[in-house]
């Protein structure tokens, strides 16, 4: 294992440790909002936070950031947990921001009493105008100097459901002239008369992200709260909020927010809002459609947890926004499956070969290794008979010397079987080849030890026996978008770049051993690529997803 240099988050932690932070105080969290399924971008954050947990032997909490009941659901909570477990990580505590609603409310009452928060009933447009611009200071709300009594009365009315949604908000009283716009009297609470997936109808006011996140980190004594770059400008507010409760409460550790760049991936979109649109508008079959950049989609496509962790690790983390080439992700799964997937035979675009000198009623069960180069994969019996399928593109009547496949008058080896020679072919009325007639060298069986078995012929083809083959539905995927950055166009909606040919369904023939394959089993179909059994598979319908073709487009 090569020695890797520390990433910049690890460097920050090392510095804190050197400056006296005790190692047993290290604690991290992963804080998803349960408003969608996790995607490959979240995997970067998961691998980073849980990776820190492993490196420092520190706990990592899973905290659901559930402060917006309008968009959050139990289904998402369950899916998120399943995906993190599947990736191979274990959280210390399962927690919810909503667990802290009462504590946050109590702290808020103190803030109001200290004159540090007030109720504003202006329209959101008015408040936006007063906010100013990055270069011009804001102006104070006429409600900024309400008395403490009036603020308490109004805030309780908000809490008790006596005021209409959108009519009032609670704001922190900080500084309307602050150079950081987030410090210009940010909203702490809004009225939302919505059922919450955990707290039901207990609350009709909900705390905003900033007021919730830092306080949740503080309550859990998270030492390093790692988030994405767009929150960098929120850091002043994060610290201000923590300062408000730090002296009055007994918890010793002040959490620290640090930021890294979001993971973006080429040829896809990553925002949950956009992924939800693809699902709701049925552009894909669901969150776990194998074309989706979600963890569940990648799993169904055939990705391994290992490949996703490797990808996150290799791509690394960065301080600046960037786009990672999807070819790196594909390289990671190919590399993993190359080491782990058994090799089997399937024909996706069949043409029939008849071996005219092979007895009509004969069949043989040939022993074939699942991997010719690695120990431990075992072998299976592959049936051989007079009629087999090969790929159409593996035969030409005539071809130049570089065509190392089957052509008239020339020989090839059939993988695990015999050497055959093409004698002639049969065509239909349109000139399409329907049968290829061959002869075989009876002594040339692979592994039989005969002179003929050692004969070198250029080209080895995969095949399946016609009468033994299983029919299978094979779903061949292409990128979901035709553009490298589908949501990077100002004047065009990302959906204008949907690839109309991102799913191609093929009826294929596979070797009979695959009849016993289970959902999510992964294979290399020799010479074709890596394939995985889809969950739509039934007793009578075998369905495979193509994970990736064999060819690697990642330039190292
Ligand atoms: P989205 O815009 O897709 O809804 P989000 O940031 O709102 O993303 P959360 O559920 O809040 O989604 O994210 C949970 C954690 O994962 C946060 O710490 C967030 O910063 C991180 N995260 C989300 N998307 C990415 C990404 N593309 N790359 C790295 N980390 C991410
Ligand atoms: Mg979020
Ligand atoms: Mg979000």
> What is the predicted pLDDT for the residue at 4?
72
Read off the pLDDT of each residue in 324-329 and give the average, rounded to a whole number: 97
- Residues 10 and 16: their CA atoms lie apart, in Å, by 10
pLDDT tens-place string over residues 76-99: 999 999 999 999 999 999 999 999
- What is the arrangement of strands in the sheet containing 28-30, beginning at the earlier edge strand? 28-30, 60-64, 94-96
Residue 187 has pLDDT above 80, yes or no: yes
Q: What is the ipTM of this complex?
A: 0.96
Under 8 Å between Cβ of 118 and 171: yes
> What is the predicted pLDDT for the residue at 556?
45
Residue 483 CA to ligand 1 center (angstroms) comes to: 23
Residue whose C-alpha is closest to residue 87's, from 52, 142, 46: 46
CA dihedral 426, 432, 433, 434 (to 10 degrees): -80
pLDDT cut 90: percent of the chain above it: 96
**Among 76, 228, 235, residue to substitute to test ligand 1 (most atoms within 8 Å of Cβ):** 228
**Among 41, 229, 316, residue to substitute to test ligand 1 (most atoms within 8 Å of Cβ):** 41
CA 12 to centroid of chain Cα atoms: 28
Kindly report the average pLDDT of the chain as a whole number: 96
- Residues 41 and 297: their CA atoms lie apart, in Å, by 13
CA angle 299, 301, 304 (to 5 degrees): 45
Residue 514 has pLDDT above 90, yes or no: yes
Residue 35 CA to ligand 2 center (angstroms) comes to: 9
Residue 167 has pLDDT above 50, yes or no: yes
CA angle 138, 142, 147 (to 5 degrees): 125
Angstrom CA distances, 235 to 15, 103, 214, stand at: 19, 22, 9
Concerning whether 451 is annotated as a catalytic residue, the answer is no
Look-up: residue for tokens 């009225």?
Answer: 191
Residue 274 banded pLDDT, cuts 50, 70, 90: very high
pLDDT tens-place string over residues 219-267: 999 999 999 999 999 999 999 999 999 988 889 999 999 999 999 999 9
pLDDT cut 70: percent of the chain above it: 99
For 523, the 3-state DSSP assignment is strand
Read off the pLDDT of each residue in 544-552 and give the average, rounded to a whole number: 92
- Residues 71 and 66: their CA atoms lie apart, in Å, by 9
Angle between helices 305-315 and 326-340 (to 10 degrees): 140
Concerning whether 401 is annotated as a catalytic residue, the answer is no
Sign of CA dihedral 270, 290, 89, 3: negative
SS3 letters across 19-67: CCCCHHHCCEEECCCCCCCCEHHHHHHHHHHHHHHHHHCCCEEEEECCC
Angstrom CA distances, 399 to 192, 396, 407, 410, 415, stand at: 72, 6, 7, 10, 21
pLDDT tens-place string over residues 366-389: 999 999 999 999 999 999 999 999
Helix extents (H) in 262-392: 272-280, 295-301, 305-315, 326-340
Q: Name the DSSP class of 329.
A: H
> What is the predicted pLDDT for the residue at 551?
81
Concerning whether 272 is annotated as a catalytic residue, the answer is yes
Tell which wins on pLDDT, 481 or 556: 481
Domain annotation for the chain: domains and CATH numbers = 8-260 (3.40.50.620), 272-342+472-549 (2.40.240.10), 349-462 (2.40.240.10)
Read off the pLDDT of each residue in 176-201 and give the average, rounded to a whole number: 97
Read off the pLDDT of each residue in 503-509 and give the average, rounded to a whole number: 97
pLDDT tens-place string over residues 34-70: 999 999 999 999 999 999 999 999 999 999 999 999 9
- Residues 117 and 111: their CA atoms lie apart, in Å, by 6
Read off the pLDDT of each residue in 269-273 and give the average, rounded to a whole number: 96
Shortest-distance atom of ligand 1 to CA 273: 4
Q: Name the DSSP class of 223.
A: S
Residues, beta carbon < 5 Å, ion ligand 2: 33
Determine the longest span between alpha carbons in the chain, in angstroms: 102
Residue whose C-alpha is closest to residue 380's, from 523, 532, 536: 523
Under 8 Å between Cβ of 388 and 468: no
User: Which listed residue (262, 310, 343, 407) is catalytic?
Assistant: 262
pLDDT tens-place string over residues 329-366: 999 999 999 999 999 999 999 999 999 999 999 999 99
The contacts of residue 185 (CB under 8 Å, 6+ apart) are 120, 138, 140, 141, 144, 171, 172, 173, 174, 175, 176
> What is the predicted pLDDT for the residue at 3?
56
Read off the pLDDT of each residue in 190-210 and give the average, rounded to a whole number: 97
Read off the pLDDT of each residue in 519-546 and give the average, rounded to a whole number: 97
- Backbone phi and psi for residue 542, each to the nearest 5 degrees, phi listed first: -90, 125
Burial of 528 (0-12, 13-18, 19+ CB in 10 A): buried
Shortest-distance atom of ligand 1 to CA 228: 20
Token readout for 241 is 């909020």
Residue 80 CA to ligand 1 center (angstroms) comes to: 12
Which ligand is nearest to the Cα of residue 76, counting in written order?
A: 1
- Residues 135 and 145: their CA atoms lie apart, in Å, by 25
């Amino acid at each position: 294992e090569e020695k890797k240099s520390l990433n910049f988050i690890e460097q920050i932690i090392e510095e804190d440790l050197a400056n006296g932070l005790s190692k047993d105080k290290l604690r991290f969290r992963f804080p998803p909002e349960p408003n969608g399924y996790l995607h490959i971008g979240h995997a970067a954050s998961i691998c980073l936070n849980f990776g820190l947990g492993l490196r420092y032997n520190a706990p990592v909490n899973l905290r659901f950031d559930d402060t917006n009941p309008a968009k959050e659901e139990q289904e998402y909570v369950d899916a998120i947990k399943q995906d993190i477990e599947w990736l191979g990580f274990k959280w210390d505590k399962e927690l919810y921001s909503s667990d802290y609603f009462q504590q946050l409310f109590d702290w808020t009452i103190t803030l109001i009493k200290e004159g540090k928060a007030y109720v504003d009933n202006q329209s959101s447009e008015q408040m936006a105008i007063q906010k100013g611009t990055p270069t011009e200071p804001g102006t104070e709300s006429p409600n900024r100097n309400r008395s403490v009594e009036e603020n308490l009365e109004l805030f309780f009315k908000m809490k008790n459901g006596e005021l209409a949604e959108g009519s009032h908000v609670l704001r922190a009283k900080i500084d309307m002239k602050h150079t950081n716009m987030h410090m210009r009297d940010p909203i702490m609470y809004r009225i939302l008369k919505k059922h919450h997936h955990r707290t039901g109808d207990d609350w009709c006011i909900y705390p905003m992200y900033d007021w919730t996140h830092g306080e949740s980190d503080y309550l859990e004594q998270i030492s390093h709260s790692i988030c994405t770059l767009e929150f960098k400008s929120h850091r002043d507010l994060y610290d201000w909020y923590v300062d408000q409760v730090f002296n009055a409460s007994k918890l010793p550790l002040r959490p620290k927010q640090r930021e890294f760049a979001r993971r973006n991936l080429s040829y896809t979109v990553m925002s949950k809002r956009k992924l939800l649109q693809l699902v709701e508008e049925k552009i894909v079959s669901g969150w776990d459609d194998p074309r989706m950049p979600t963890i569940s989609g990648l799993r169904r496509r055939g990705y391994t947890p290992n490949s996703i962790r490797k990808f996150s690790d290799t791509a690394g983390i960065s301080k600046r926004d960037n786009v990672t080439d999807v070819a790196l992700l594909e390289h990671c799964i190919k590399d993993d499956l190359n080491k782990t997937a058994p090799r089997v035979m399937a024909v996706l675009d069949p043409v029939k070969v008849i071996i005219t000198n092979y007895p009509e009623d004969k069949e043989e069960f040939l022993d074939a290794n699942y991997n010719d180069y690695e120990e431990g994969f075992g072998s299976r019996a592959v049936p051989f008979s007079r009629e087999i399928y090969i790929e159409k593109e593996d035969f030409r009547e005539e071809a130049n010397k570089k065509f190392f496949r089957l052509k008239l008058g020339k020989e090839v080896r059939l993988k695990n079987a015999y050497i055959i020679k093409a004698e002639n072919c049969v065509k239909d009325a349109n000139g399409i080849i329907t049968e290829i007639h061959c002869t075989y060298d009876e002594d040339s069986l692979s592994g039989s030890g005969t002179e003929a078995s050692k004969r070198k012929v250029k080209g080895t083809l995969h095949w399946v026996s016609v009468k033994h083959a299983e029919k299978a539905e094979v779903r061949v995927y292409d990128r979901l978008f035709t553009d490298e950055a589908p949501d990077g166009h100002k004047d065009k909606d990302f959906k204008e770049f949907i690839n109309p040919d991102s799913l191609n369904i093929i009826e294929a023939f596979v070797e009979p051993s695959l009849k016993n394959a289970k959902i999510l089993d992964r294979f290399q179909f020799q010479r074709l690529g890596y394939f995985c059994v889809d969950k739509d598979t039934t007793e009578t319908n075998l369905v495979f997803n193509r994970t990736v073709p064999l060819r690697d487009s990642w330039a190292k």
